[in-house]
Amino acid sequence: MGFALVWLVNAVVTLMIWCIIASAILSWLFAFDVVNPRNRFVGQIAYVLDTVTRPILGPIQRVVPPLGGIDITPIIALLALQFLSVLFNRTVAPMLIMSLG
């Protein structure tokens, strides 16, 4: 049970990291007019990515303003998620595995 819980937490963190990266790349594609945001399929992808990443990026965006028009909150969020993942895997995961088996 403990291994499954650790795997689930790591999978969710990895999925969030990839969603943040995809959201950032898609926003660049919108900014440089490579992709049309009015395209229904692209708009749905952007909506889903925004819905998934907003709980993480929103609070950071309220604290960190854009620097010279560049939003660095995805970088901060990625670093924070990586830090929390390492912290979880080194401290909490071994205790979960030992206690839940």
Could you read off the pLDDT tens digit of each residue along the chain, which spans 101 residues? 889 999 999 999 999 999 999 999 999 999 999 999 999 999 999 999 999 999 999 999 999 988 888 899 999 999 999 999 999 999 999 998 888 86
DSSP bridge partners of 67: 70
How much is the pLDDT for 75? 97
How much is the pLDDT for 101? 65
Q: Say which amino acid occupies 83.
A: F
How much is the pLDDT for 69? 83
The residue ranges of every structural domain in the chain are 1-100
